[in-house]
């Protein structure tokens, strides 16, 4: 117990932005290697390998099934929702990157969080920021829309699911670092149950080759274990709006990793679109906290009279 508390104390000393930076790097590093597995397993099979390997790691590391029966129904419902979102989000993401460049999918995915951040502070500045981001995504979609419309459908579905992931992730992170990670592990097991009928058949060919199995495990650790754990460590100490703002790193990291690992060189219009998205989030500002009102004038007058009588 003391050792566990000591580990949590160490993580508390690390700035939450560091966890977010690590998450941003691994968020697309794992999927970039997953693209290389598409020749040996179906897209849904690769998605299953990612979720299954991550679920196994969480099962061995955290044994998350212990906490589920002890939780009230409201929190169990949140975990079930997060598990479904994780499963569908991974499926849509892989179906998208099988048809579109990683940088394009990353920028579309980021449109959801910037809209979520914009809802936190409705100002003219933030409206302009949101319009810049929308313009950037429009450039990206316009570049390749005629070639892969289905890919954009999956990319935007992944974007919507990513919003739900941020919202539900913050809910399970409210009780602290360790509790959030345990609940994340439980949600990953739920995601595995959901996706197994869809992806296990497409992964059977890869399961016969130990090298591909190791690659699948690597994808799961890089794509789901490291970034999702880092997200929980960051979400436990950052507001939902601030976390959404920091997601500006995602389209940039997706493009860089796409170039380095997959040799996907972006066009001038794609670069312009990504820059517009990043510029939009850089322009965005979080709303300042409003001072709490002490009460209406009649209420204040009544309080003064009571104080005088006393």
Instruction: Tell me the pLDDT tens digit for each residue of 31-76.
Output: 777 777 887 888 899 999 999 999 999 999 999 988 888 889 989 9
- The answer to the question of residue 110 being in a domain is yes
What per-residue confidence (pLDDT) applies to 205?
84
Q: Which has the minimum average pLDDT: 118-122, 143-147, 226-230, 252-256?
A: 143-147
Residue with the bigger pLDDT between 84 and 66: it is 84
The packing angle between helices 73-97 and 43-62, to 10°, is 140
What per-residue confidence (pLDDT) applies to 182?
92
Answer yes or no: is pLDDT of 306 > 80. Answer: no
What per-residue confidence (pLDDT) applies to 120?
65
Neighbouring C-alpha atoms within 13 Å toward the C-beta of 268: 0
What per-residue confidence (pLDDT) applies to 13?
77
* Length of the chain (residues): 310
Q: For residues 144-166, give the mean pLDDT.
A: 84
Q: Which has the minimum average pLDDT: 140-154, 161-175, 228-242, 268-282?
A: 140-154
Q: How many Å apart are CA 295 and CA 198, to the nearest integer?
A: 56
What per-residue confidence (pLDDT) applies to 106?
75
What per-residue confidence (pLDDT) applies to 125?
81
What per-residue confidence (pLDDT) applies to 81?
97
What range defines the domain where residue 24 resides?
Answer: 16-287
Q: For residues 178-189, give the mean pLDDT.
A: 91
Q: How many Å apart are CA 270 and CA 101, to the nearest integer?
A: 10
> What is the reported pTM?
0.77
Q: How many Å apart are CA 187 and CA 40, to the nearest integer?
A: 28
Structural tokens at position 234: 């960051």
- The answer to the question of residue 66 being in a domain is yes
- The answer to the question of residue 6 being in a domain is no
| Helix (H/G/I), strand (E/B), else coil: 99 | coil
| Helix (H/G/I), strand (E/B), else coil: 95 | helix
Q: Which has the minimum average pLDDT: 4-13, 125-134, 179-188?
A: 4-13
CB 49 within 8 A of CB 278: no
Q: How many Å apart are CA 199 and CA 98, to the nearest integer?
A: 15
What per-residue confidence (pLDDT) applies to 53?
94
Got the DSSP string for 236-273? TTS-HHHHHHHTTHHHHHHHHHHHHHH--PPPHHHHHH
- The answer to the question of residue 8 being in a domain is no
Q: How many Å apart are CA 156 and CA 133, to the nearest integer?
A: 14
Q: For residues 243-257, give the mean pLDDT.
A: 70
- The answer to the question of residue 9 being in a domain is no
For 4-65, give the secondary structure using H, E and C.
HHHHHHHHHHCCHHHHHHHHHHHHHHHHHHHHCCCCCCCHHHHHHHHHHHHHHHHHHHHCHH
- The answer to the question of residue 295 being in a domain is no
Q: According to the per-residue pLDDT averaged within each range, which of 62-76, 82-96, 229-243 is highest?
A: 82-96
Answer yes or no: is pLDDT of 4 > 50. Answer: no
Q: How many Å apart are CA 279 and CA 296, to the nearest integer?
A: 41
**Chain mean pLDDT for the chain:** 79
Give the count of domains, the chain. Answer: 1
- The answer to the question of residue 11 being in a domain is no
CB 278 within 8 A of CB 251: yes
Supply the Cα-derived Rg of the chain in whole angstroms: 22
- The answer to the question of residue 1 being in a domain is no
Q: How many Å apart are CA 301 and CA 160, to the nearest integer?
A: 49
């Amino acid at each position: 117990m003391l050792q566990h508390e000591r580990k949590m104390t160490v993580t508390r000393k690390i700035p939450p932005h560091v966890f977010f930076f690590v998450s941003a790097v691994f968020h697309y590093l794992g999927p970039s290697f997953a693209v290389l597995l598409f020749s040996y397993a179906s897209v849904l099979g690769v998605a299953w390998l990612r979720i299954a390997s991550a679920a196994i790691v969480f099962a061995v590391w955290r044994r998350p099934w212990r906490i589920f029966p002890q939780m009230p129904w409201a929190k169990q419902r949140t975990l079930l929702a997060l598990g479904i979102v994780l499963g569908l989000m991974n499926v849509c993401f892989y179906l998208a990157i099988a048809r579109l460049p990683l940088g394009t999918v990353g920028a579309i995915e980021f449109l959801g969080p910037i809209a979520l951040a914009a809802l936190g502070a409705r100002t003219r500045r933030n409206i302009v920021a949101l319009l810049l981001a929308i313009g950037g995504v429009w450039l990206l979609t316009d570049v390749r829309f005629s070639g892969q419309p289905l890919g954009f459908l999956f990319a935007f579905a992944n974007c919507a699911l990513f919003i739900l992931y941020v919202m539900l992730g913050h809910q399970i992170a409210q009780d602290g670092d360790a509790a959030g990670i345990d609940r994340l592990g439980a949600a990953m097991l739920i995601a595995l149950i959901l996706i197994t009928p869809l992806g296990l058949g497409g992964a059977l060919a890869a399961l016969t080759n130990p090298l591909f199995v190791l690659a699948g495990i690597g994808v799961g650790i890089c794509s789901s274990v490291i970034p999702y754990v880092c997200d929980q460590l960051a979400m436990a100490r950052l507001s939902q709006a601030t976390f959404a703002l920091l997601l500006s790193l995602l389209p940039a990291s997706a493009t860089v990793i796409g170039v380095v690992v997959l040799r996907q060189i972006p066009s001038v219009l794609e670069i312009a679109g990504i820059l517009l998205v990043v510029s939009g989030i850089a322009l965005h500002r979080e709303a300042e906290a409003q001072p709490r009102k002490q009460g209406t004038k009649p209420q204040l007058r009544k309080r003064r009279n009571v104080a005088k009588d006393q």
